[in-house]
Amino acid sequence: MVDKPHLDEEALAELRDVMEDEFDVLIETYLSDSADRINTLHRALVAEDNEMFTKSIHSFKGSSINIGAPLLGELCLRAECAGRNGHLDEAGQVLDRIESEFRTVSDLFQRLLNA
């Protein structure tokens, strides 16, 4: 798991190719979307709403994989599994790591956008 990179350079290159001039919009959409999701995940933990947590983390996982952030996707998968099994405390611990990984990915994306 740890060997997964923050960003998948190859996937990103392809995305850039596909999205053309909308690549920047895509990254920005992902970043604001994900920030919203992290807020939702926190609310779900506080409310101990297992279903809301699982659904949100599932979507977060999907878009992270699609955008080319495999490590973040992997962490989301672990949190989703914990959530599905009802281990919300474990899910909470993983969420902390997700937040930190998201910050790293955000920095990397910002750099990419500014480049």
| Burial class of residue 25, CB neighbours in 10 A (0-12, 13-18, 19+) | exposed
Is the distance from CB of 57 to CB of 79 less than 8 angstroms? yes
Q: Which tokens in the block code for residue 40?
A: 């939702």
CA 32 to chain centroid, in Å, comes to 11
Which one of 42, 55, 87, 97 is in contact with other proteins (CB under 8 A)? 55
> Which is closer to other proteins, CB of 89 or CB of 113?
113
Closest CB 28 distance from other proteins, rounded Å: 10
User: Among the candidate windows 13-21, 41-49, 87-95, 103-111, which touches other proteins by CB under 8 A?
Assistant: 13-21
Report the residue from 7, 30, 98, 101 that binds other proteins according to the rule CB under 8 A.
30
Does residue 63 bind other proteins (CB under 8 A)? Answer: yes
How many angstroms separate the Cα of 100 from the Cα of each of 9, 26, 49?
Answer: 20, 21, 23
Query: Exactly one of 11, 88, 108, 112 binds other proteins (CB under 8 A); which one?
Result: 11
- Cα 8 to Cα 26: distance, rounded to the nearest angstrom: 16
Q: Which residues bind other proteins (CB under 8 A)?
A: 11, 14-15, 18-20, 22, 25-26, 29-30, 33, 55, 58-59, 61-63, 65-68
